[in-house]
Amino acid sequence: MKLVNYQLQTQMESVKQEATHFLQEYLQSVLEDKTKAYYQKADYVGLSLNELSNKIDTLSEDIKELQRLKKRLSTALDISKEVTASILLKNGIDKIEGTIISSITLTKETTKEKVSMAVLNKEELLKRGFVKYELDTDALQTALLQDTNLQKELKPFVELAITKETTPAKAKVNLKRSANNTQADELLHIVENQAA
């Protein structure tokens, strides 16, 4: 388990869209550092990006685990409340007071109707008028994009707006198949010591 964050990694973790100046300056200084070989610079930048990605993956897994735990605990709480109510009712108790808590009271049992339906003959039901007509917007959009005459014909009924969204270039870290993490950590340690 890695206990030290590299300076570049820390800069990357705190960067915001509207304030990239410090990260740009630091990356520029790393690239211009003549005391390091190009591969050390590449490893430093790449491993810092990877550490950020690894933290995101770890957090995603932790969130999933916490959601599972929350669901399990919610179910356990509901069951515990039902069992407690059952025992209190069995003993003729509808309210019990405490010194730390105000009291435990019971809610009344409620019953809700839940309707479920299974369609056995769809065609017959459609013939009898149980139909929902809905505009097929996907087909309409495809047709409009392919036919300019149709665009003119349907202009009073539909407005077509085309916008372009540009995604900026991003760095991608490509790992070697048999990366030696010990060597990479040593390289990053050397870079960090010289930067300090």
DSSP state of 30: H
pLDDT of 175 strictly over 60:
yes
Burial class (CB in 10 A: 0-12, 13-18, 19+), 173: middle
Average pLDDT over the chain reads: 85
* Predicted local confidence at residue 83, as pLDDT: 93
pLDDT tens for each residue of 28-76: 999 999 999 999 999 989 989 999 999 999 999 999 999 999 999 999 9
The CA distances from residue 30 to 37, 74, 116, in Å, are: 11, 50, 64
> What end-to-end distance do the CA atoms of the chain give, in Å?
23
Nearest CA to 46 out of 194, 179, 167 is that of 179
- Domain positions in the chain are 7-109+180-195
